Structure 1
Amino acid sequence: MKLNKIGILILLIITISGKSYTQDSTQNRLKPLLIASSATYVTSLVLLDQLWYSDFERKGFHFFNDNREWKQVDKVGHFYSAFHISNASYKLLRWAYMDEDKSIFWGSIASVIALTPIEIFDGFSSEYGASYGDLIANTAGGLFFYGQQKTWGEIRVHPKYSFSQSPYAELRPETLGKNLSEELLKDYNAQTFWLSFDLSKFNAKLPKWLNIAMGYGANDMIFANDDSNKSAGFNPQRQFYIGLDLDLNEYKTRSKALNTLIYFVNMVKIPGPTLELRNGKFYFHSFYY
């Protein structure tokens, strides 16, 4: 599961020229940030290579087309991860006093820099293979951040994640997860990814906390492809959602630690009333997560 490897590698490395600084004092924060993130990045790549790929035979670099697997939920996961790596990188660079335009640019490509090595490792592994779809999804996540920040100067549409434990993991735990922590990353039946629209940013008359979220997920899968699932008696299907959400970032406190916690919590969709479309039929959930 490549999304599991992304969970191991939420790391940043950003190579920036000295001319990018807006003032001399910025070096007090920027240089330590670059050194620390670069060292963490390189160390993590070495650990990832040893922990994940050491059991598999190495072969010549090759691609593997997995675009039809898991109803593309894994690709949406790549998009989600890339967006948030870019957004977090941008915030770190602004914290280090880099100017706005350069922070947006380097933040946007940070996700590509961070996630591309996973595809390179996969490409040399006999077990996997580099994925065009993953590379496209990674790039799209960074571009989604870049487009919003350049157009509006802020994020108005937030990619979010929610999880509801499914009964499928116990049927194939080696693939879908042996415990809750693994299922959070591996069980695509249990994951829903959302785009949460901050309505007040489009219409100031609406409550600042109110969002409308559109979600996507899939269900009834224990194998990656539809044919294998159907042969085993399962009926893989896509699920589409629309529901209410909250924008917790509207609530600021005097505590930087608490504000950081709110930022991370806001990456998750708040449970609430939701309308689901599945197999051409609508289902209403008073409390969906």
Structure 2
Amino acid sequence: MYRYLLHFWLCVLLLLQPLQGIAAASDSTATAVNQERLLVLGIGFGVGYTAMLVSLNKAWYKDQERTNFHFFNDNRQWKQMDKAGHFWGAFHQSRAGIDLLRWAGVPDKKAILYGGLTGIILQTPIEIFDGFQSDYGASVGDAIANTVGSAAVVAQELAWRKVRIMPKYSFRTTRYAAERPNVLGSTQPEQMLKDYNGQTYWLSVNLGDFLKEESRYPKWLSIAVGYGAEGMVYNDPELNKARGFDARRQFYLSPDLNLTHFKGRSKVLNTTLYVLSIIKIPAPALEYNRTDGLRFHPVYF
């Protein structure tokens, strides 16, 4: 379900206040826990996130029929695009959690292990809420994707003390939203949340981080591998096909910018780069899908 994207951006808004600290966390030389910062983080996050969950529960679920908690298998729906989104969201929430704890002076390994749980902690309430809905339920697949997303950032931080492979998101408008605007969105902001046909999820590899320091390879140039899908108007594959839509997976290869390479002394610049690093910059791309074979896009969003 696309609630994970709405939930993710609400969490971004929640974290906007301490983002300058997050952006500078990797450069911090703190040797002791800053109790004041840790207290501010704990109280601010606890109050803010509780208020957000209450608001989300009322806004999203209040008019829906509820039942006993149960599970729902949605693993075949939307060509698993929602699972890719859960991975992406949990990764960056855990990434922010780790950097927030670093900013507060928490020892690095503890910051990685405790902060790495952030994505799971933030995403799990969505599954609990879903578990009481009569039209669907809690998704084991979503929970697994959340866990893998959080584990992916923890693994990189433990191995390299930095993120070398960055999950990213991009979006382009499609003709499919007009087929079911109530489900896929009637405006562009809605479609960015709801239309899986226009979403692409990437793994952007910072090749320069894997090379020797003296290498002449430009450290700002990354290579991104993308996954998307198209032709999905109905979540059920059989119904979608019966209504005449051909759902197909799409795979991409594209150059990308390692935005964190451009960090400097400006906190505003570093904060902006930190936020933008979750989004794939438009660039030429090579696409493969089973219908069209190989296609080249001069600029792909």
Q: TM-score, normalised by structure 2?
A: 0.90
TM-fit CA distance, 1:105: 0.7
User: What is the number of residues matched between the two proteins?
Assistant: 281
Q: Which residue of 1 aligns with 2:287?
A: 276
Gaps of 5+ in 1: 14-20
| 1:43 alignment partner, one of 51, 62, 77 | 51
Q: Per the alignment, do residues 197 and 4 of structure 1 end up closer, same or farther by CA in structure 2, a change over 3 Å counting? A: closer
Tell me, in whole angstroms, the C-alpha distance in 1 between the residues paired with 2:161 and 2:265.
23
Tell me, in whole angstroms, the C-alpha distance in 2 between the residues paired with 1:159 and 1:169.
25
Tell me, in whole angstroms, the C-alpha distance in 2 between the residues paired with 1:261 and 1:174.
33
| 1:233 alignment partner, one of 232, 238, 244 | 244
Partner-residue secondary structure (3-state), 1:178: coil
Within-5 A mapping of 1:147-186: 147-186=155-194
Q: What are the superposed Cα offsets for residues 205-231 of structure 1, whole Å, 9 maximum, x if unpaired?
A: 211111000000000111112211111
Instruction: Report if the CA contact (8 A) 2:6-2:193 is conserved.
Output: no
Q: Which residue of 2 aligns with 1:138?
A: 146
What value does the CA root-mean-square deviation take over the aligned residues? Answer: 1.7
**Residue 67 in structure 1 maps to residue 75 in structure 2:** yes
Partner-residue secondary structure (3-state), 1:194: strand
Instruction: Report if the CA contact (8 A) 1:3-1:186 is conserved.
Output: no
Q: What are the superposed Cα offsets for residues 223-267 of structure 1, whole Å, 9 maximum, x if unpaired?
A: 112211111111100000111111011001222122111111121
Q: Which residue of 2 aligns with 1:85?
A: 93
TM-fit CA distance, 1:128: 2.5
TM-fit CA distance, 1:8: 5.7
Partner-residue secondary structure (3-state), 2:90: helix
Partner-residue secondary structure (3-state), 1:59: coil
Residue identity matched to 1:282: L
Q: TM-score, normalised by structure 1?
A: 0.93
TM-fit CA distance, 1:152: 1.0
Gaps of 5+ in 2: 16-29
Q: Which residue of 2 aligns with 1:16?
A: none
TM-fit CA distance, 1:7: 3.4
Tell me, in whole angstroms, the C-alpha distance in 2 between the residues paired with 1:132 and 1:286.
39
Hey, which bits of structure 1, 4+ residues long, moved more than 4 A?
A: none
Instruction: Report if the CA contact (8 A) 1:194-1:214 is conserved.
Output: yes
- Segment of structure 1 superposing worse, 114-123 or 248-257: 248-257
| 2:264 alignment partner, one of 253, 258, 268 | 253
Q: Per the alignment, do residues 153 and 7 of structure 1 end up closer, same or farther by CA in structure 2, a change over 3 Å counting? A: closer
